Amino acid sequence: MRSITTRATIALVLGGVLTLAAFFGAFFWAGVPDFGFVRTAEQVDSARYKGPFEQAIDEARYLANYAGYTVQVEADGESVRGELVSADEESVEIATESGGVTIDAADFEAATVFGSEYGRPDWGQKIFYFHVPVAEISFVVFAFAAFYAVRFLMTRNREFDTKNRVSMEVTLVFVGLTMATGILWTKAAWGVWWDWEPRLTTYFILTLLVIAYFVLRNSVEDEERRAVYGAVFTILAFIDVPISFFITRLIPSNHPVIESGGLEGPMLVSFILGQIGMIALGYAIYQLRMGEVQLQERIEQAKTLLER
Amino acid sequence: MAGASGRQLRAMLRKDIVMELRTKEMIMSMGLYSLLTMVVYFVALSQAGSSFDPRDIAAGLLWLAFIFTSMLGLNRSLVHEKDQGCLEALLLSPVDRPVIFFAKAGGNLIFLLAVEALTLPVFGFLFLQGTQLDWGSIALIPLALIAGSVGIAGVGTLLATMSVNTSGKDFVLAMLFIPLMYPLLLGAVTATGGAIVGGAQGVSVFWTGMGWVIGYDVIMLLASYGLYEFIVGA
Amino acid sequence: MTEEQQHTLALEVRDLTRAFGVRKALDGVSLELPVGAFLSIFGPNGAGKTTLVKVLTTLLNPSSGSARVLGRDVVSDAVELRTHIGLISHNPLLYPDLTAEENLLFFAEMYGVDDPRVRVSELLEAVELDHRRLDLTRTFSRGMLQRLSIARALLHRPEVIFLDEPYSGLDPHAMDILDGLIAQIRDSHTFVMISHDLDKGLELCSHALILAKGRVVLYEPREAIDDASFRQTYRSTVGMGVS
């Protein structure tokens, strides 16, 4: 019993220190990550289908809001990067280093806007050092929950059910944090609180599935049945994790993807510090909760023995 | 044992169909429910005027009706088994558990397809009159309906077997079913939308959507098949 | 296991435990029952009676220990064992929207009974329901449902019949009919009955078992039982203290 608390406390302190270090690294040492841009032309809109011309008009209208920003426009197979001068339904004007360029809306393919709506471009990007580790841990803890679910169904050992449940509780915590930080960043970078974009949508579904797990558990009377249903549903719900993780790499998405080699020096160090810190925090939360649940179970056990 | 399983599967399917033909409970409730949904759609769209192309939203509206209607049917089909302890009687007979799963899912699939076949022309009559339709690609819609319904019936049967044992059956089923159905729903709407819009582009969108749906069907049916034994054994 | 033993022991339960965490529905239950016996299981609510019957009828798996019915293991030989046992529950286990005949034919198919139609008519006659064979069971009275459910349980000629509080909810007339039916098949079958009715259970049984908190409190053949002290033991386990 004591060893669990000791380990959890060590993990908690370590996680806290490393996460703080990552914060300081991110704000005072590391540069601004060069991702997290908007790729409006490639928005996935599955319920309806639009021809390229119609889309281009939308694009230009949308771009008009970003005069003065750095943009990259792909048109007619080529890509032009520079400061946006103006945009309307017929043409887009960009000031590049080698002079002004006018692009016909009809040739328009995709546009990328760098920076954010606020006067301090890219400041919002700093949340990356917190948001990404949290999101990663939410997937990892969910994987543990699924692992314990399989183990439980194989052995019918109540211990694995408890681990499955506690893992799901930790998943809920991290999913909540991911959602909260994600929404803040979305507002800063995209100018909207929410966008039905593949990663956001699949992650929202994931959140609902984790909540549904607890709804299911709370509505089953019999303890063993509750455990079995919980385990089965964890496995079914886990199928959404790889979908959510890989979707930004499979279909065009606004959500940024970290590419290998995209991070270097101070940025990489801060990011790794944040990741290790968050793993330690996740482990600490898991162990602390586990200790509490085990204590409850021992009380229950003592009660049962007294009844006999 | 394969011969016995086939016989049991047929017996269970026949039993469900005989009961349904007698009471018409599921077809009636699901059919009327989907008609009511059409009325709600009309009200929901009443302020939109004629400034939009109904073909753009038709697929979404259709699957919305199907998903809610199917939950109604799924719930009922398992309440039937649970009511007088019939599921227990089935489990007592020398039947492999997956056979029960396939029989119940098969029955649900048949009723769901029947309701969809009734809803589709009504929907077209109410919402798509006067729009340009490409009949060649419209003919692909049944494929999307079948592929989508296989997933709904399979996963739905598994989830309904769980939710029927919970307090607050309907709500629990919706809470489990809708998020889990999201990938399938997205694929099915994409495919159906492509078929309604038509043209070469529409047909290619159709097959992309079908790819999602079929992939989801395969994964989810395998998972449901593997997990059903645990559910009924608990 | 020799051929002879298979035919002499209907139930062979060894150290059977069914537990989830610290909660034990069955805690080290061991007993043997010869073929042809009538076992009555008594005990307060939550004593593990239903769990024991569910394990013996292959509906639940044991957590540890083993149980054999007619020499067949309830886990490894489950599918085969199911063809040798029948269950009559207080729930009719029949589809209300099928006729009496359709219900029986359906279950006959599930069990793979030879000549299902002949067997079904035979049983409908035996339970005196042949005049209602084409009526939906939804329209049946409680007693008729119970009779039909007996016919359903006997379809595949089971050797061991489990009765889960078969008398609950029956009016006196239906009870008499059920008594008559059980008497008819009493000699050719082994019975395991859960009962809350001490008089009824004692009257029918050849062996009596009292369970409490998942453990065997008392297991004796009928001859060895002194009625008065048995009642006393039963009351003390039920923990009511009232007579």
pLDDT of residue B26: 87
| SS3 of residue B188 by DSSP | helix
A43 in Cβ contact with A251 (< 8 Å):
no
Q: Strand C215-221 and strand A108-114: pairing? A: unpaired
Cα–Cα–Cα angle for A215, B220, B177, rounded to 5 degrees: 30
Q: A225 vs B230: CB contact, 8 Å cut-off?
A: no
Average pLDDT, integer, range A28-51: 43
| SS3 of residue A33 by DSSP | coil
pLDDT of residue C242: 38
Q: Kindly list the distances between the CA atom of residue A131 and the CA atoms of A31, A175, A278, B16, in Å, as whole numbers in the listed order.
A: 17, 10, 10, 51
Q: C91 vs B91: CB contact, 8 Å cut-off?
A: no
Q: C95 vs B19: CB contact, 8 Å cut-off?
A: yes
Tell me the C-alpha distance between A38 and A53, whole Å: 20
pLDDT of residue A230: 96
ipTM: 0.92
Q: A158 vs C213: CB contact, 8 Å cut-off?
A: no
pLDDT of residue A33: 57
Q: Which residues contact B56 (CB under 8 A, 6 or more apart)?
A: A47, A48, A49, B193, B197
Question: Tokens for A16?
Answer: 């806290």
Closest chain B C-alpha to C40 CA, distance in angstroms: 21
As beta bridge partners, residue C23 has: C20
Residue tagged 């062979």 (tokens): C12
Residue in chain C lying closest to B12 (CA) = C106
Mark A263-289 as b/e (b = at least 16 C-beta within 10 Å). Answer: beeebebbbbbbbbbbbbbbbbbbbbb
pLDDT of residue B3: 78
Q: At C207, give phi and psi (nearest 5°).
A: -135, 145
Please indicate whether residue A72 or residue C179 has the higher confidence score (pLDDT): C179
pLDDT of residue A253: 65
Residue tagged 């040798």 (tokens): C84
Looking at residue C171, the DSSP 8-state letter turns out to be: -
Q: A236 vs B155: CB contact, 8 Å cut-off?
A: yes
Chain B residues touching residue C61 (CB < 8 angstroms) = 233
pLDDT of residue C192: 93
Q: Which residues contact B80 (CB under 8 A, 6 or more apart)?
A: B19, B86, C95, C97
Question: Tokens for C111?
Answer: 């069990």
Tell me the C-alpha distance between C27 and C32, whole Å: 16
C219 in Cβ contact with C45 (< 8 Å):
no
Interface of A with B in 85-124 (CB under 8 A): none
Cα–Cα–Cα angle for B38, B22, B31, rounded to 5 degrees: 5
Which residue pairs, CB below 8 angstroms and at least 24 apart, start in C133-140? C133/C99, C133/C100, C133/C101, C134/C99, C134/C100, C134/C101, C135/C99, C135/C100, C136/B22, C136/C96, C136/C97, C136/C98, C136/C99, C137/C92, C137/C94, C137/C95, C137/C96, C137/C98, C137/C99, C137/C100, C137/C103, C138/C96, C138/C97, C140/C100
Chain centre distance of CA A191: 18
Q: B60 vs A224: CB contact, 8 Å cut-off?
A: no
Chain B residues touching residue C98 (CB < 8 angstroms) = 15, 18-19
Average pLDDT, integer, range A75-91: 80
Q: Which residues contact A10 (CB under 8 A, 6 or more apart)?
A: none
Question: Tokens for A185?
Answer: 């960043």
A257 in B contact zone (CB under 8 Å)? no
Question: Tokens for B73?
Answer: 């049917």
Chain A and chain C share a number of CB contacts under 8 A equal to 21
Cβ-count burial of A306 within 10 angstroms (0-12 exposed, 13-18 middle, 19+ buried)? exposed
Q: Which residues contact A57 (CB under 8 A, 6 or more apart)?
A: A89, A105
Please indicate whether residue C109 or residue A122 has the higher confidence score (pLDDT): C109
Chain A and chain B share a number of CB contacts under 8 A equal to 94
Question: Tokens for B196?
Answer: 């309604």
Closest chain B C-alpha to C243 CA, distance in angstroms: 34
Nearest residue to A209 (alpha-carbon basis) of A157, A146, A263, A152: A146
pLDDT along chain B (234 residues), means of 10: 82 92 89 92 83 83 94 89 86 91 94 93 86 82 94 94 88 94 93 89 91 94 92 82
Q: A301 vs C63: CB contact, 8 Å cut-off?
A: no
Residue in chain A lying closest to C27 (CA) = A308
Tell me the C-alpha distance between A58 and B37, whole Å: 32
Q: A228 vs B231: CB contact, 8 Å cut-off?
A: yes
Query: Who among B10, B19, B86 is closest to C93 (CB)?
Result: B86
Chain C residues touching residue B14 (CB < 8 angstroms) = 106
Query: Who among C87, C95, C109 is closest to B86 (CB)?
Result: C95
Question: Tokens for B41?
Answer: 């759609």
Tens of pLDDT along C125-170? 888 888 888 999 889 988 888 889 889 998 999 999 999 988 887 7
Chain B residues touching residue C92 (CB < 8 angstroms) = 84-85
Q: A304 vs C22: CB contact, 8 Å cut-off?
A: yes
Query: Who among C20, C22, C213 is closest to A224 (CB)?
Result: C20
Tell me the C-alpha distance between C30 and C216, whole Å: 8
User: Which helix (H) or strand (E) element contains residue C96?
Assistant: none
Query: Who among A215, A220, A232 is closest to B230 (CB)?
Result: A232
Q: B223 vs A239: CB contact, 8 Å cut-off?
A: yes
Closest chain C C-alpha to B181 CA, distance in angstroms: 31
Tell me the C-alpha distance between C202 and B89, whole Å: 28
Q: How many CB atoms lie within 10 A of CB C123?
A: 22
As beta bridge partners, residue A93 has: A86, A102
Amino acid, single-letter form, for residue B126: L
Closest chain B C-alpha to A65 CA, distance in angstroms: 25
* Confidence check: pLDDT of A44 > 50: no
Tens of pLDDT along A93-126? 888 888 888 888 777 777 766 654 444 445 667 7
Q: What is the pTM of this model?
A: 0.85
- Return the percent helix, strand and coil in chain A, to nearest 5: 65, 10, 20
Chain C residues touching residue B96 (CB < 8 angstroms) = 79
Q: C21 vs A297: CB contact, 8 Å cut-off?
A: yes
Q: A304 vs C23: CB contact, 8 Å cut-off?
A: yes
B170 in A contact zone (CB under 8 Å)? no
Closest chain B C-alpha to A244 CA, distance in angstroms: 10
Interface of C with A in 175-214 (CB under 8 A): 213
Q: B189 vs A47: CB contact, 8 Å cut-off?
A: yes
Nearest residue to C50 (alpha-carbon basis) of C222, C218, C211: C211
A72 in Cβ contact with A39 (< 8 Å):
no
* Confidence check: pLDDT of A45 > 50: no
A49 in B contact zone (CB under 8 Å)? yes
pLDDT of residue B71: 92
B70 in Cβ contact with B173 (< 8 Å):
no
C14 in Cβ contact with C66 (< 8 Å):
yes
As beta bridge partners, residue C191 has: C38, C161
B28 in C contact zone (CB under 8 Å)? no
> How would you list the strands of the sheet with C72-73, edge to edge?
C23-34, C9-20, C64-69, C72-73
Query: Who among A158, A305, A307 is closest to C21 (CB)?
Result: A158
Chain A residues touching residue B176 (CB < 8 angstroms) = 212, 215-216, 233
Chains in contact with B, where contact requires at least 3 CB pairs less than 8 Å apart: A, C
B201 in Cβ contact with B190 (< 8 Å):
no
| SS3 of residue C37 by DSSP | coil
Tell me the C-alpha distance between C19 and C25, whole Å: 6
